[in-house]
Amino acid sequence: MVGAGSAGFAAARTARDLGKRVAFVDPGPLAGLCILRGCMPSKTLLRSGELAQLAREAHEYGVGAKIEGFDWARMMARKREIIQGFTDYRVDGIRAFPVFEGPAHFVSGHEIEVGGQRLRGQRFLIATGSVIQHPEIPGLAETGFLTSDQVLELERPPKDVIVLGGGYVATELGQFLHRMGVPATFVQRSPHLLSSEDPDVGDALAGCFRAEGMTVDTGTAIERVFTRHGRKVVAYRHGGQIREAEAEEIFFALGRRPNVDGLALESAGVTYNRYGVDVDRHMRTSNPDIFAAGDVAGRFQLVHVAIHEGEMAARNAFLPQPENVDYSLVAAHAVFTDPQVAVVGMRERDLVAEGRRYLKGSYPFDDLGKAISVGLTKGFVKMLADPRDGRILGVAIVGAEASDLIHEAIALMYFKATVDDVVRMPHLHPTLAEIMTYPAEEIAEALAAERSAQAAGAGGVTA
C-alpha cells in the first residue's frame, strides 16, 4: 500500500481478510488527510462557528446572549485534542501492518524503494492522496496567502479575508472565518458557488451567504494580486469591469491535485495526467499489477469514495471475478456550510445535457412546519424522477441537516424506489425529514396526470 490514508487503510484490511501479506509505504505523518488536515479538524472548528451564529440569533428566540470574544487558542487546543484521539486510533490500526516510513518511488513494476530499501510485491496500490494545487495567479505567490492547512491551525485570525474559490473547502472555511469575526469576501471564477452542482444549489447558498453579510462575486477572472499600504489586494474582472477586493489576508482555496510527486510512475509503466492516475472500472492502472484508489485516482475527492475504491481495488487485485465501481450512489456527498448541501444521483444539468426526459419536484424549507417552528427555513429539496415509472434519479438538498437527510434519498435509490413509494412511506410529524414527501407528491401527481392523459387519448381512438 503506497499511502496509509483512507483508501490505503481500507484496502489493507480488505487484502488481509483475503489472506494476503500487506505492508504500508508512507512518508508520514501517518493517519491520512481526512484525519490530520481535512474532514475531522474542519468539522471540529465549524462547530465553533455554528455556536457563534446561534448566539447572534438567540434574541430572536427570546434568549439574551452576547459574544464576549473568541478564544482561538482554546478552540485550536480542543481541535488538536480531538484530532489526536482520532490519529492515535488510526495509527494503531496502521501499525498492525508492517510500515516503511519515508518518501518512495517505483524502481520497476514490482519493486519500490523507500529509505534506501527495496521492496518487492505481487500487487501494489497507489493511494497517495492529493495535495493543495499551486496557484497560477500573477502576484499571488509574492503577496502571500493562506491554504486550508494554515486556516486549520490559525492561532490569531486576520482582521478580514478574501476567499479565492467557491468549492467545498472555500465555502465551509470561508463561512467559518466570517462567523468568527473575520469578514469574508468570496471571489469565484465560475458563475456559481459549488460549480460542480446544479446552479440553483450554488445560487441558494450564495444568497444565504450574502444575507449573512458576506460578499460573494461569481463569474470572475482574477487579473492580479498585489500589496497596497500593508493590505492584500485582489484585482478581478466582473461584469465587464475591474473590481478590487482588499483584506489583511487571502485564503487560497482553488482545489487540490492528485499527489504523484516523486513516485517515478513511469518506471512502473503507470500512466497519469493532471487529473490523476489512469484507472479502469476495476481501479486497475496501465500496469495490470498496480491499482490506484482515492484522491490520486482523480475521480471524487471524498473519503467514503476512497474507502469504497480501496476495498474494491484490493478485491480486484486478487479475486478472479473483478467488480466494477458504480459511482451512482457512492459519490453522494455533503457540504457542511449553513445551510448544508447534500446531493445524490443525477444532477438536473446532466439530464438536460443528455437529452433525457425527467420530472422534477421541489419544496422549500420555509413552508415546512418543523423548519418554521425552529427557525431553520433556508433552502429547499429538489427531486428528479424518471417520467416512465417515477423511479428516483437524483435528489439535491440545501438546508438544515442536509447531510443526514440525504441518507433517506440514498436508501430510496439503493432499493430503486419510486416517488409513489416515498408518498406511501410513513414520515413522522413534525420533522425535517418529512420534507422529502412534498417533492415526491408533486412528481407523483404530475405522473398520474400524464398517465390519465395518455389513457384518455388511447380511449378516444376509434376504429
The CATH H-level (homologous superfamily) assignment of domain 140-254 is FAD/NAD(P)-binding domain (3.50.50.60)
The residue to which cell 492580479 is assigned: 224
Write down the domain spans for the chain.
Answer: 6-133+257-325, 140-254, 339-459
Please give the model's pTM, rounded to 2 decimal places.
0.95
Asked whether this chain's domains 140-254 and 339-459 adopt the same fold, the reply is no
Smallest CA-to-CA distance from 219 within 201, 241, 251 is with: 241
Q: What is the pLDDT of residues 219-265, one digit of tens each?
A: 999 999 999 999 999 999 999 999 999 999 999 999 899 999 999 99
Enter the C-alpha cell of residue 122: 505481487
For residue 24, the one-letter residue type is: F
Q: What is the pLDDT of residues 268-296, one digit of tens each?
A: 999 999 999 999 999 999 999 999 999 99
Phi, psi for residue 394 in degrees, rounded to 5: -175, 155
The angle formed by the CA atoms of residues 377, 407 and 418, to the nearest 5 degrees, is 95
Half-sphere exposure of 371 (CA within 13 A, CB side): 23
Q: What is the pLDDT of residues 101-153, one digit of tens each?
A: 999 999 999 999 999 999 999 999 999 999 998 878 999 999 999 999 999 99
Distance from the Cα of residue 259 to its chain's centroid: 18
Domain 339-459 sits in CATH at 3.30.390.30
Report whether 82 contacts 44 (CB < 8 A). yes
CA distance 337 to 50: 9
The CATH H-level (homologous superfamily) assignment of domain 6-133+257-325 is FAD/NAD(P)-binding domain (3.50.50.60)
CA distance 41 to 31: 13
Q: Which residues of the chain, if any, have pLDDT below 50? A: 461-463
What is the helix (H) or strand (E) element at residue 333, kind and residue range? Answer: strand 333-335
Q: In what order do the strands lie in the sheet with 117-120?
A: 104-108, 111-114, 117-120
